[in-house]
Chains A and B, each alone.
Chain A
Amino acid sequence: MEEQKHTRKGWLYEPLFPDVNTWPIYKLTQERDEFLKEVKEAAFKAAKEQTKTNQGLNEELAKTYYLERIRLKTNAWAADKKDEGPFWEGVKKKLLKLSPENEKTPDLNEDNILESIIDRYTEEIAGFFSPSAYNFAKEATTFGFARLLNASEGKGISRFWKTRHNLHEKIRLQGDLDHIRTLAKKGTLVMVPTHFSNLDSIMIGWAIASLGLRPFLYGAGLNLFGIGILAFFMNKLGAYKVDRRKKNMIYLETLKAYSTIGMVRGCNSLFFPGGTRSRSGSIETKLKLGLLGTAMEAQRLNFLKDKEKATKIFVIPVVFNYNFVLEAPSLIDEHLKRTGQQHYFRENDDYSTSYKLAKFMLKFFTKSSEISISFGKCIDLFGNPVDNEGNSIGKNNEKIDISRYFMTNGAFTRDSQRDAEYTKMLGDEIVKRFHSESRVFASHVVAFVAFELIRKRHKKLDIYAVLRLPEEDQKLTYLEFTNGVSRLLDRLREMAANGEVHLYHELEIPEIDKVIETGIKNLGMYDAKRPLYKTKDDFIMSEDFNLLFFYHNRIEGYGLAKYI
């Protein structure tokens, strides 16, 4: 593969907008009061619309209070504010005063209480953006990544300080990057990556900087804000805080309003539409549409405000491909527990301290082979391709005016059910593109073939029974394994020719033994137990069948099993 060119500082591209004062994300901080006021108003309107009547709102407030009390009692976090208890006590008192048997208190009604809750949520969610912290983080990540990568290859200390060029050979940014940069000048970008590893967030931040794009608005788990050094940066990089424990309507509407107004104000945004990391190791097929829906709403608001001059929103599906996922053992364990319904599942943090995080990074880079970050083709919110001018191109290869999707009988209309359906359709399109943009690695191929061959031998067993098979039943001869790999490669090449998937360059090698060797070497190279290895007497075996299953899942969903 051709080596990618670099800027002087080791990035792929020079920044598109060097002047930080033109960055919408920075303006959110500069115009913070005004921005947050808009968020609060939008959230208030949405909550009122959902509850319809005063009675409905009253019930919603009571429910919110109840849920928040439970959260405080059973699931408190270090990142929580100290005055949460008193605040919710206050809400309770006000609600009691509103009950019919009490006399009316002047200036107290459901709307006030709603406002006070939204105020609190908005302040909690809102982030800050500091250009100097951003620049520092940008440089530090590159520096750190490069040093770690070089260290892994090096023999002596000198290697540690080698040029930075290795970085882009290790972490491949693939896809039509120039097109993305062109569109960054025409509209607002929304990136939607797959999510396999905690490392994804850092990787995507680095990739965005390397593409020379302005930083993206993104939500980060509130729990991360409780971790020393991470909290310091998160607080200054414009990240907004998402609290997964809060599932009440008022909170969710506030969160959505924050994202919507951020995009209306021109901020590029980043969502992991799968929600959390893929537990099974497979590409997401069901997306969480809440935040994706905020892009739809922002686009509608843009059209409503500026008609044909409106800023358009472009969606970029992004697929990460790793040869191994550090968290694989715990992820697949959780997946099996969940689907097996044997145990109650509880979200746990794989990097709850700065130390653990650092260790995680170090291991990742020093052990890693290549990583691919594939950027899919940009689409509009209705799944249409977009040309260099930002025009949506329809099925007859002509420009189409997508603002009309928000019109009924020739006029703009607001219809949340309609827009929710559009969002679902967009979600389906993104899932399709995740699959076609994904890069298949040799390690995915060997894992898939080995697992499917063994599963085929035991057709009558369910997946849990297959995973518990004794070691001697998980043994494959090298010949049957090679034949399987060969059949799968034939099919994959056919699919790649049809644009249904991409093959990583290592799969272009004609010698099948080399492909297998690369695959086995790279597969789960970090994991203590090898998911796959070749014995001296030419058998293919696995030390950890659950892990093999996890890596196998990476190319599940293409209907490949029948070809092996």
Chain B
Amino acid sequence: MDSQNTSDKLPVGVIGAGVFGTAVANLLAENRDVILYSRRPEVAENILVKRIHRGQKMSERIKPTSNIEELTSSCTLIFPVVSSSGFSEMIRTFSPYLRPDHILIHGTKGLDVRLKQGETLTEKTFLNRKMVRTMSEIILQETEVMRVGCLAGPNLASEIALGQPAASVIASRFDEVIREGQRALRSSRFQVFGNHDITGVELAGVLKNVIAIASGALSGLGYGENARALLISRGMVEMVHIGKLMGGDPKAFFGLAGVGDLIATCSSEKSRNFTVGFRLAKGEKIEDILSSMDEVAEGVNTVKVTNAFIHSAKTRAPMTETIYKCLFGGMTVKEGVDYLMNLPLGTDLDYFS
């Protein structure tokens, strides 16, 4: 492998100036110059002037922009960090500017669904794996970029912003992507592990958000740690079950991006998905919760997708189904818990069956 010194001189790109995008930009800025893209010019302008955004102080090395070409022509390493609902549109907009030598490492934990025009996603919608895309699959299908990776792990943006120690996983089929990502992100307060199973890592990061909603709901009901431990460990079984159906290797679920992230999101009141569950248990309506939230809780869309997917695959996933009913089917959280507690017992561990 030829050594590369040029890489340290090139700036790194970040697409999306949400809470997590901003945190990632700040992390990168410890090593490199960063170009941070926001779709809205006023946001870029605001960052430039105030140097504070989403409650985070912005490093001097971060240059905000709303010009796509400025980012794609000066960076080869780019981190797209936008919500899954806007991801495919963003990628299509960027696609004409992306070249074969770009490396994209996304930090979005959601799924994209391709439906026929005019169709909306309900529990009756038939979904097969071809219709459900992970973010890396969107990049591969819509752009010339082949070197794709994903960033996943217990990375609560607010804690990272405070400079607390944390770690993440970069998953990619390519050693090169992992290496370049590590060089750009690693610092004394941020560890970066590599993993080759990008699908598994993406799915682990996506599916844990569903369990996080349930965890918030348990807290909302005033339940304690016994209930949460039950939820997390049984939730893990279900994540692996669905993950396998979607083509992920179970192993990824036991790493930092799986169980690590699951514990963090299920225990943190700072997590958006947790908050959704918490407020739901307090009796609020889902529409009201979502409309009052500043950023997207990915878990809500993920519940919709996985619920339709498991029905289409003619299998069961009781927790996901119950959470779906609590969110969209008029079931109360208390009823949901009672239903789950009265299910016939299964085996404790059946990951590898």
Residues in B whose Cβ lies below 8 Å from that of A20: none
Given the known interface contacts A395-B95, A404-B99, A409-B76, the answer about A414 and B146 at a Cβ–Cβ threshold of 8 Å is no
Residues in A whose Cβ lies below 8 Å from that of B95: 395-396
Given the known interface contacts A395-B142, A395-B144, the answer about A408 and B173 at a Cβ–Cβ threshold of 8 Å is no
- Of the listed stretches B1-9, B206-214, B293-301, name the one at the interface; the rest are far from the partner chain: B1-9
- Asked whether any CB of chain B lies closer than 8 Å to the CB of A349, the reply is no
Indicate if the CB atoms of A409 and B99 lie closer than 8 Å.
Answer: no
Given the complex of chains A and B, what is the CA–CA distance between A409 and B99 in angstroms? 12
Give the shortest distance, in Å, between A338 (CB) and chain B (any CB). 26
Indicate if the CB atoms of A417 and B174 lie closer than 8 Å.
Answer: yes
Indicate if the CB atoms of B176 and A415 lie closer than 8 Å.
Answer: yes
Given the complex of chains A and B, what is the CA–CA distance between A400 and B103 in angstroms? 16
- Asked whether any CB of chain A lies closer than 8 Å to the CB of B85, the reply is no
Contact of B1 among A400, A407, A410, A414 (CB under 8 A): A414
Given the complex of chains A and B, what is the CA–CA distance between A418 and B180 in angstroms? 13
Give the shortest distance, in Å, between B74 (CB) and chain A (any CB). 11
Indicate if the CB atoms of B7 and A408 lie closer than 8 Å.
Answer: yes
Given the known interface contacts A409-B10, A410-B10, the answer about A422 and B146 at a Cβ–Cβ threshold of 8 Å is yes
Contact of A407 among B96, B101, B180 (CB under 8 A): B101
Give the shortest distance, in Å, between B147 (CB) and chain A (any CB). 7
Give the shortest distance, in Å, between A563 (CB) and chain B (any CB). 16
Residues in A whose Cβ lies below 8 Å from that of B175: 415, 417-418
Indicate if the CB atoms of B99 and A418 lie closer than 8 Å.
Answer: no
- Asked whether any CB of chain B lies closer than 8 Å to the CB of A401, the reply is yes
**A417 to chain B: closest residue by CB:** B175
For this complex, into which size category does the number of interface residues on chain A fall? 20 to 34
Q: Give residues of chain B (161-179) contacting chain A, Cβ–Cβ below 8 Å.
A: 173-176
- Over the window 135-154 of chain B, the binary record of Cβ atoms lying under 8 Å from chain A Cβ atoms (1 yes, 0 no) is 00000011110110000000
- Asked whether any CB of chain B lies closer than 8 Å to the CB of A89, the reply is no
Contact of A398 among B96, B103, B143, B180 (CB under 8 A): B96
- Asked whether any CB of chain A lies closer than 8 Å to the CB of B222, the reply is no
- Asked whether any CB of chain B lies closer than 8 Å to the CB of A528, the reply is no
Given the complex of chains A and B, what is the CA–CA distance between A415 and B95 in angstroms? 25
- Asked whether any CB of chain B lies closer than 8 Å to the CB of A112, the reply is no
Q: Give residues of chain A (392-446) contacting chain B, Cβ–Cβ below 8 Å.
A: 394-396, 398, 400-402, 404-405, 407-411, 413-415, 417-418, 421-422, 424-425
Contact of A402 among B100, B147, B174 (CB under 8 A): B100
Indicate if the CB atoms of A400 and B180 lie closer than 8 Å.
Answer: no
Given the known interface contacts A396-B96, A418-B147, the answer about A411 and B6 at a Cβ–Cβ threshold of 8 Å is yes
Indicate if the CB atoms of B100 and A408 lie closer than 8 Å.
Answer: no
Q: Which of B7, B95, B144 has the most CB of A within 10 A?
A: B144
Given the complex of chains A and B, what is the CA–CA distance between A401 and B99 in angstroms? 8
Residues in A whose Cβ lies below 8 Å from that of B6: 409-411
**A405 to chain B: closest residue by CB:** B100
Contact of A395 among B143, B176, B180 (CB under 8 A): B143
Residues in B whose Cβ lies below 8 Å from that of A409: 4, 6-7, 10, 76-77, 180
Indicate if the CB atoms of A408 and B99 lie closer than 8 Å.
Answer: no
Interface residues of A: mostly helix, strand, loop or mixed?
mixed
**A397 to chain B: closest residue by CB:** B96
- Asked whether any CB of chain B lies closer than 8 Å to the CB of A382, the reply is yes
Give the shortest distance, in Å, between A374 (CB) and chain B (any CB). 25
Residues in A whose Cβ lies below 8 Å from that of B180: 408-409
Indicate if the CB atoms of A394 and B144 lie closer than 8 Å.
Answer: yes
**A416 to chain B: closest residue by CB:** B1
**B180 to chain A: closest residue by CB:** A408
Indicate if the CB atoms of A413 and B146 lie closer than 8 Å.
Answer: no
Give the shortest distance, in Å, between B28 (CB) and chain A (any CB). 15
Contact of A415 among B1, B10, B141 (CB under 8 A): B1
Residues in B whose Cβ lies below 8 Å from that of A408: 4, 7, 76, 101, 103, 176, 180
Residues in A whose Cβ lies below 8 Å from that of B144: 394-395, 400
Given the known interface contacts A409-B10, A417-B174, A425-B146, the answer about A400 and B4 at a Cβ–Cβ threshold of 8 Å is no
Given the complex of chains A and B, what is the CA–CA distance between A404 and B143 in angstroms? 14
Indicate if the CB atoms of B1 and A405 lie closer than 8 Å.
Answer: no
Interface size on B, residues (CB 8 A): 25
Give the shortest distance, in Å, between A139 (CB) and chain B (any CB). 45
Indicate if the CB atoms of B7 and A405 lie closer than 8 Å.
Answer: no
Residues in B whose Cβ lies below 8 Å from that of A382: 100, 146
Given the complex of chains A and B, what is the CA–CA distance between A405 and B176 in angstroms? 12
Q: Give residues of chain B (1-47) contacting chain A, Cβ–Cβ below 8 Å.
A: 1-2, 4, 6-7, 10
Given the known interface contacts A402-B100, A408-B4, A408-B7, the answer about A417 and B146 at a Cβ–Cβ threshold of 8 Å is no
Given the complex of chains A and B, what is the CA–CA distance between A394 and B10 in angstroms? 26
Residues in B whose Cβ lies below 8 Å from that of A405: 100-101, 146
Residues in A whose Cβ lies below 8 Å from that of B141: 395
Given the complex of chains A and B, what is the CA–CA distance between A396 and B91 in angstroms? 12
Residues in B whose Cβ lies below 8 Å from that of A425: 146
Contact of B2 among A404, A413, A424 (CB under 8 A): A413
Residues in B whose Cβ lies below 8 Å from that of A401: 99-100
Given the known interface contacts A395-B143, A409-B7, the answer about A418 and B176 at a Cβ–Cβ threshold of 8 Å is yes
**A401 to chain B: closest residue by CB:** B100
Indicate if the CB atoms of A414 and B2 lie closer than 8 Å.
Answer: yes
Given the known interface contacts A409-B4, A411-B6, the answer about A418 and B96 at a Cβ–Cβ threshold of 8 Å is no
**B144 to chain A: closest residue by CB:** A394
Residues in A whose Cβ lies below 8 Å from that of B10: 409-410
- Over the window 351-376 of chain A, the binary record of Cβ atoms lying under 8 Å from chain B Cβ atoms (1 yes, 0 no) is 00000000000000000000000000
Contact of A413 among B4, B96, B143, B173 (CB under 8 A): B4
Given the complex of chains A and B, what is the CA–CA distance between A404 and B95 in angstroms? 16
**B9 to chain A: closest residue by CB:** A409
Residues in B whose Cβ lies below 8 Å from that of A415: 1, 175-176
Give the shortest distance, in Å, between A401 (CB) and chain B (any CB). 7
Given the complex of chains A and B, what is the CA–CA distance between A417 and B10 in angstroms? 23
**B7 to chain A: closest residue by CB:** A409
Residues in B whose Cβ lies below 8 Å from that of A411: 2, 4, 6
Given the known interface contacts A408-B4, A408-B176, A413-B4, the answer about A400 and B76 at a Cβ–Cβ threshold of 8 Å is no
Given the complex of chains A and B, what is the CA–CA distance between A400 and B101 in angstroms? 11
Give the shortest distance, in Å, between A236 (CB) and chain B (any CB). 41
Q: Give residues of chain B (118-158) contacting chain A, Cβ–Cβ below 8 Å.
A: 141-144, 146-147
Given the complex of chains A and B, what is the CA–CA distance between A402 and B101 in angstroms? 9
Given the complex of chains A and B, what is the CA–CA distance between A415 and B147 in angstroms? 13
Residues in A whose Cβ lies below 8 Å from that of B143: 395
Give the shortest distance, in Å, between A104 (CB) and chain B (any CB). 32
Given the complex of chains A and B, what is the CA–CA distance between A425 and B147 in angstroms? 11
- Over the window 50-77 of chain B, the binary record of Cβ atoms lying under 8 Å from chain A Cβ atoms (1 yes, 0 no) is 0000000000000000000000000011
**B101 to chain A: closest residue by CB:** A404
Residues in B whose Cβ lies below 8 Å from that of A402: 100
Residues in A whose Cβ lies below 8 Å from that of B96: 396, 398
Residues in A whose Cβ lies below 8 Å from that of B4: 408-409, 411, 413
Indicate if the CB atoms of A421 and B174 lie closer than 8 Å.
Answer: yes
Residues in A whose Cβ lies below 8 Å from that of B146: 382, 405, 422, 425
Given the complex of chains A and B, what is the CA–CA distance between A409 and B177 in angstroms? 11
**A49 to chain B: closest residue by CB:** B1
Give the shortest distance, in Å, between A289 (CB) and chain B (any CB). 14
Given the complex of chains A and B, what is the CA–CA distance between A417 and B173 in angstroms? 9
Indicate if the CB atoms of B76 and A418 lie closer than 8 Å.
Answer: no
Given the complex of chains A and B, what is the CA–CA distance between A409 and B4 in angstroms? 8
Residues in A whose Cβ lies below 8 Å from that of B101: 404-405, 407-408, 410
**A421 to chain B: closest residue by CB:** B173
Residues in A whose Cβ lies below 8 Å from that of B174: 417-418, 421
Extra inter-chain contacts (12) besides given A405-B101, A418-B147, CB under 8 Å:
A395-B95, A395-B141, A408-B7, A408-B76, A409-B6, A409-B7, A409-B77, A409-B180, A414-B2, A415-B176, A418-B175, A421-B174
Q: Which 7 A-B pairs have the closest CB atoms?
A: A404-B101, A404-B100, A409-B7, A407-B101, A405-B100, A417-B175, A421-B173
Q: Please name 23 pairs of A and B residues whose Cβ atoms are closer than 8 Å in the assembled complex, sorted by A.
A: A382-B146, A395-B141, A395-B144, A396-B96, A400-B99, A400-B144, A402-B100, A404-B99, A404-B100, A407-B100, A408-B101, A408-B103, A409-B7, A409-B76, A409-B180, A411-B4, A413-B2, A413-B176, A415-B1, A415-B175, A415-B176, A417-B175, A424-B173
